Structure 1
Amino acid sequence: MNIKKWWGISNSISLLFLILIGGMWVYATHSYSPNQDQLTKKTEVDAYLSEFLSDRENDEVPTGVFIQSLKFNNSTEVNFTGYIWQTYDRAYTAKYKNPEDIPVGFVLPEAVESESNGAPKFAYRKVKGNKEVIGWYFEATLKQKFEYSKYPFDHKNVWVRLWSNDFKPNKVLVPDFDGYESTDLEKAFGYDTDIVLGDWQLLETFFDYKEKSYNSNFGIFEDDELNAHPELYFNVVLKRRFLNSFVVYILPLAIIACLIFATLMMITKDPNKESSLGMNTSGVIGVCSGLFFIVLLSQVQIREQFAGSDIVYIEYLYPLMYLSLLGVSVNSYLFALPDNGNNRLLYWIHKDDNVHPRLIFWPLLLGSATVITACALLPEESGQDQSRQGQTFGGEKIQVAEMVEVSDVFDILRTEKLEG
């Protein structure tokens, strides 16, 4: 057996798998394409509303959003701070001499209770002809569901979902495009250019509508008013910076794989090598046991980070480490057994001082990682926004429902009653 030749073949196959994995990583990192449903100008908003709300005259309220900070509290909560402004008729705002008395014109239905949450605070007002712009500062933690299956090569679309505080079917929030320099496709606007995003890179921002229907009339709507109603979203598209996740999770796995292979290389019956390496079956199993707990703790840390989410890409690599550790331990045990020539497996393992398991270690490990990477990263998502599904109850269309804080609805109704 030409061992040198077989080592060349093994290394070439392993290198090919490494190149394939790296290529798929690069592809997944740059696979985002802009959402084609985003609104970039007023004519697009008018066309959209005329299609979905053609049966009634709409009372439009221009609304703008400016994000000052954004932070992921955990895998399902995002903390936002910034400003939201709205433009009203001067006849409506003139009656409020004290700006603190002006009702907040929007509701954040996905806000959850947290120490950082607070009611929006009046920030500024400015008269523009027969219109007046009212701005509020807000800080809110929003509960949102994200898709992490491609972690750490994922993109996230986080959003600020806006309701009008006036619970009337014809009240519609529309983007205030005049409040930004440019809202063209693939442009990023409405955020502080000095915003600190940590592990994330901001790709683009945009407005869009999502049609929502609910299985309740909230006590005030007629049956014909329960059709899908467009809700305004301000979206922020983020791309995860790969380097941090690579150093924290992937690099340690690569080092552990090298340590497992080094342990496999120490399994020998050559007296000279055995005495110098000082490794026997119990030593190999001891090393594998230590590495097993290191890998296990790392996986537990990832699972805690994505509690409640499906298995992410990086987690699929951990079973490969477990199988490698188990395989090396079993190989060490079988190699210690005497070969009487009757067992083909023992003959295969003992031949040329355990060279066969060494030759197939990297091709088998990297080949499996290549298959896992292809299955996890290559499939295209069924839509540009997997983390925000439509919501409809009843009829023929049933999709994933988002949580709605009903208490917000009653707060709106209570405010409306007091004002009346």
Structure 2
Amino acid sequence: MINLQNKTFIFFAVVFLGLSAFFIYDLWNYMNVREKKSIEIGTESLLKVQNEIEEILDEVIAEGDQIKKIVEGQRLTKKEVIALAEKSSRDLFYLQAVAIAYEPYAFDSLTTRFAPFYDKRQGRVIQLEDRYDYTVDTASSNIWYHGPLQSRAPEWSDPFFGTAAKVLVADYGLPFYLKGSSKPSGVISLVMDLKKLGAKMDSLAIGTTGTAMIFSESGHVVAHPISEYILDVSLQSIAQELGLENMVDVMLLTKEGYLDYSRYLGKKAYAFYAEIPHVQWKTLIVFNSADLLGNADLLHNKLVKICHGLSALFFMVVLFLIGKKANTKRKLWSVSVYASLIIVSNIMVMWYLNLNFNYSQGTEKEVFIDNRTSLASFINSENLRVSKLGLQKFIPVSTGIFVEEFEFRDAYNVTIRGQVWQKWPKHLARFYEAGIRFPQEALGALTIINKISEKEDKNFVTHTWTVKVMLKMPFDYSKYPFDVRDVKIEIMYPDVDSGVLLVPDVDGYSDILPYSSPGINKDIFLNDSKLLSTQFSFNLVNFQDRFGNKKFTGLNQFPIMKYSINLKRRLLNVMVMNIIPIIVVASMIFLIFYSITKDKDDKSGVSMMGAVQSSAGFFFVLLVAHIDLRRRLSTPSLTYIETFYLTMYVFMALLAINVVAFTKSKSQSRFLHYEDNLIVKVCYWPVLLFTWMLITLLIFYN
């Protein structure tokens, strides 16, 4: 027959089993919903881009059909043909030019070839027949003409550099038939400016890391934020840059879909692609998963809940099994030991999650740069933002940094020594001089910036400086020693009103992915930290707040380049200097407290004054260690590790009071005198550890 006590244990075990099952289901549902939501966001973004691009292409196709209808419907004079090409080119923003090219003697019996080409950028008509013979089908540059002519159907070309338009273009060509002709009389070619198309796509991509592009079925890049990629870089190379090199064939062979994969440092990413109707092109959008899913804080909270639920369930099972033992004293000590071990395991889980998954998340306004594509996307989006405000676009200037050495001078000041270089455009040298500024420079510190070289190139001059500067960093020590201590170096151009935007010199590094740690001497010795990675980013700063000047009329959010050194704190020093002394003192106090007895025949116990004096001695030991910690950190806020000291102070005071009450009390209090203060003794470790667990939970998962 199960007694009432065991029934109670079984009841709570069932309750905690249900809670654990609910928490596990909640995590499973959260992961599925999170995944589903991310796919929905990515698909919606892809559909948005698809619709916009399809609308642009449909306008081009409709314009081509309209030109064809006019050309085929009546005999036009040369002036009318030229006027038609000019009007069509000007009517559509994304068209760079329009050509109406006739077959030999198709225009009239006296005209060998006639192909007016109106270039909107140059604002003039170019007669292609005077430049070259576009009817020669062996010339690769004439594919725009012979492709539609031979297929006798409209078609889009792969991207190429237009010799007449002198820009990167793609042609939509369609043959036309004059009255009485059974074979094509010529080709109407509508030339699309791919740079404009790429800028449009980039403005449509959502999120801080979203990158959009178009590629053809042959693997050629049609539109990309970096226009140079269209001719010089293949889809395979871009996919390798984005971490998609193993999935190129899938994207080329399938009509549409999405791919989830891992990028650097195990970070997940999503790629969404789909075919554009009526065109042999596909749209591709790539996102970092954090851009769609947000950070992992909520996920960690759910994992901690599961851990707590399973721990409570296990504890109820332990209580049920221990309840079968006859010795009450042994039961209480068993409960104390198991409860302490369970609580310690929960603390260790929370430490593990924060130690391994809480680094370099960045701020809400921080945009990370890991390749040329993401850099070009960011610059384009910022230029689009300032253009809408009626301000001048930013002038990007490639700037690089190499950190040779750095050290923490105190809790908030870091000294950096290294080199900074800047590729200053020659056309900009007429108005501004090359220069750098560190806005985090500490007051009163000696900053040394010496120019060591100037190397002239075709389009820019590379200026190189040696730098030694002390920077003040806003480190947050509230979670010390499980805090994030990333050194984020801000570099900007001294004159904010110039419009000069310093950007990472992507070409100056072999790789700027964080795991390759670009721009730092990897042999730097750090006694209490481990180098994880380095990375570039931009932080949008409100200069009205930064300058403290309400009359400042510039951008409210100005992008500043950041170079981040991501560090992981080594726990050995903290363990030796702080955690181990606290554990040792807590253990010694417990042993002294455990040995107190009223049994006059027991000579091994400790007297009341001995216990109080020992507590006072241990208090000063911890106080000295605590003062040393405050001296090293000098932080205005209370740190996580300090709460361990504070709880020990409180426990030492309470135990001293308990010892005095136990030894001086004449009444036979059941709480104090049961088995020589056994209840308080068995509660010591569980209550102390539970207090630490509760503090950990509140600080890390509030």
Cα pair 1:114 1:141 within 8 Å, conserved: no
Higher relative contact order (CA 8 A, sep 6+): 1
Superposed counterparts of 1:128-147, under 5 Å: 128-147=457-476
Aligned length: 364
Instruction: After superposition, give the CA deviation of every residue in 1:164-196 in whole Å (9 maximum; x if it has no partner).
Output: 134433211111011112112544211001111
C-alpha distance in 2, partners of 1:83/1:164? Answer: 16
- In structure 2, the residue matched to 1:46 is 376
Judged with a 3 Å threshold, the aligned counterparts in structure 2 of structure 1 residues 245 and 216 are, in CA distance, closer, same or farther, namely closer
Deviation (angstroms), 1:266: 1.9
Once residues 19 and 311 of structure 1 are traced to their aligned partners in structure 2, the CA distance between those partners, rounded to angstroms, is: 25
Are the equivalent residues in 1 in contact too, given 2:360–2:486 (CA < 8 A)? no
Matches within 5 A, 1:255-266: 255-266=584-595
SS at structure 2 position matched to 1:232: strand
Residue deviations 1:319-374, cap 9 Å, x none?
Answer: 22112211221121111124334xxxx33211212212111111111111111112
Indicate which of 331, 336, 346 corresponds to 1:10. 336
Pair 128,376 (structure 1): closer, same or farther in 2 beyond 3 Å: same
Matched position secondary structure for 1:205: strand
Find the residue that maps to 1:108 and give its secondary structure. Answer: coil
Question: Judging changes above 3 Å, is the alpha-carbon distance between structure 1 residues 53 and 309 closer, same or farther for their aligned structure 2 residues?
Answer: farther
Name the stretch that deviates more: 207-216 or 24-33: 207-216
Report the AA paired with residue 74 of structure 1.
D
Match of 1:71 in 2: 407
- Equivalent-residue separation in structure 1 for 2:612 and 2:554 (angstroms): 69
Contact 2:453–2:464, Cα closer than 8 Å, also in 1: yes
Q: Deviations over 1:205-237 (max 9, x none)?
A: 11111222333998x999753432211111111
Residue range with higher mean Cα deviation, 165-174 or 288-297: 165-174
Q: CA deviation at 1:80?
A: 0.8
**1:304 matches 2:634:** no
2:480·2:640 contact (CA, 8 Å) conserved in 1? yes
The 1:330–1:47 alpha-carbon spacing in structure 2 relative to 1, beyond 3 Å, is: same
Q: What do the CA deviations read for 1:92-116 (whole angstroms, capped 9, x no partner)? A: 779xxxxxxx96610112112456x
Give the superposition deviation at 1:83. Answer: 0.7
- Would the alpha carbon gap of residues 227 and 5 (structure 1) be closer, same or farther in structure 2, given more than 3 Å must change? closer
Mapped to 2, the partners of 1:316 and 1:216 lie a distance apart of 34
1:105 and 1:211 mapped to 2: Cα distance? 21
CA contact (8 A) 2:544 2:552 kept: no
Task: Write the distance in 2 (CA, Å) between the matches of 1:206 and 1:83.
Answer: 16
Q: How does 1:47-126 map to 2 (within 5 A)?
A: 47-54=377-384, 55=387, 56-89=392-425, 105-114=435-444, 117-126=446-455
Q: Mind listing any 5+ residue stretches in structure 2 that lack a counterpart?
A: 1-326
Q: Which residue of 1 aligns with 2:674?
A: 351
How far, CA to CA, are the matches of 1:302 and 1:133 in structure 2? Answer: 46
**1:32-77, Cα deviation, whole Å (9 max, x unpaired):** 3554831122332232222223322432211001111121112221
Structure with greater helix percent: 2
1:29 corresponds in structure 2 to 355
Alignment of structure 1 residues 336-415 onto 2, 5 Å: 336-341=663-668, 346-379=669-702
CA distance in 2, matches of 1:296, 1:3: 35
Offset of residue 3 of structure 1: 1.0
119-128 or 326-335: bigger deviation: 119-128
- 1:202-221 aligned within 5 A: 202-215=531-544
Which SS does the other structure have where 1:211 is aligned?
strand
Where does residue 604 of structure 2 map in the other structure? 276
> Closer, same or farther in 2 for the Cα pair 1:150/1:221, shift >3 Å?
closer
Cα deviation, 1:298-329, whole Å, max 9, x if unaligned, reads 22222233324311110111122112211221
Report the AA paired with residue 400 of structure 2. G
Residue 286 (structure 1) aligned with residue 613 (structure 2): yes
SS at match of 2:357: coil
Aligned mates of 2:612, 2:545 — CA distance in 1:
62
1:311 alignment partner, SS class: coil
- Equivalent-residue separation in structure 2 for 1:217 and 1:240 (angstroms): 30
Residue identity opposite 1:86 in structure 2: Q
Consecutive unaligned residues in structure 1, runs of 5 or more: 95-101, 380-420
Tell me if structure 1 keeps the 8 A contact 2:640–2:699: yes
Counterpart code for 2:604: S
Aligned counterpart, 2:526: 197
The one-character-per-residue Cα deviations of 1:211-267 (angstroms, maximum 9, x if unpaired) are: 22333998x999753432211111111111111111110000000000110110121
Inter-CA distance 155–271: structure 2 relative to 1 (3 Å threshold): same
Q: Using the alignment, how far apart are the partners of 2:373 and 2:491 within structure 1?
A: 21
Q: Counterpart of 1:406?
A: none
1:412 maps to which residue? none
Contact 1:118 1:140 in 2 (8 A): yes
Distance between the aligned counterparts of 2:613 and 2:623, measured in 1?
Answer: 15
Q: Is the 8 A contact 2:425 2:459 kept in 1?
A: yes
Check 1:268–1:122 CA distance in 2 against 1; reply closer, same or farther (3 A cut): same
TM-score (norm 2): 0.49
The answer to whether the 8 A contact 1:58-1:172 is kept is yes
Determine what percentage of the aligned residue pairs are the same residue. Answer: 26
Quick check: 1:163–1:232 contact (8 Å CA) kept in 2?
A: yes
**Alignment pair present for 1:313 and 2:640:** yes
Q: 1:314 is aligned with what amino acid?
A: I
SS of residue in 1 equivalent to 2:463? strand
Q: Which residue identity does 1:40 align to in structure 2?
A: D
Query: 1:82 corresponds to which letter in structure 2?
Result: G
Question: What CA deviation, in whole Å up to 9, does each residue of 1:250-292 have, x standing for no partner?
Answer: 000000000110110121122232x234x21111111111111
Q: Distance in 2 between matches of 1:132 and 1:238?
A: 34
Residue type matched to 1:318 in 2?
Answer: Y
TM-score by length of 1: 0.80
Q: Deviations over 1:133-159 (max 9, x none)?
A: 221110111112111111111122211
| 1:333–1:181 CA distance, 2 compared to 1 (3 A) | same
Distance verdict in 2 for CA 1:166–1:276, change over 3 Å:
closer
SS of equivalent to 2:419: strand
Query: What SS does structure 2 have at the residue aligned with 1:276?
Result: coil
Is contact 1:89-1:132 (8 Å) kept? Answer: yes
Amino acid at match of 2:675: D
Distance 2:436 2:534 in 1: 20
Contact 2:447 2:470 in 1 (8 A): no
Pairing partner for 1:231 from 557, 560, 566:
560
CA 1:2–1:227 in structure 2 vs 1: closer, same or farther (change >3 Å)?
closer
The counterpart of 2:658, out of the listed 310, 331, 338, is: 331
Contact residue 34 and residue 186 of structure 1 kept, 8 A: no
Deviation at 1:28, TM superposition (A): 1.2
Q: Report the 3-state secondary structure (helix = DSSP H, G, I; strand = E; otherwise coil) of the residue aligned with 1:150.
A: coil
Let me know the Cα RMSD of the aligned residues. 2.6
Query: Counterpart of 1:106 in 2: which secondary structure?
Result: coil
Aligned partner (choices 565, 574, 579) of residue 245 of structure 1: 574
* Alpha-carbon distance change, 276 to 221 in structure 1, aligned in 2, over 3 angstroms: closer
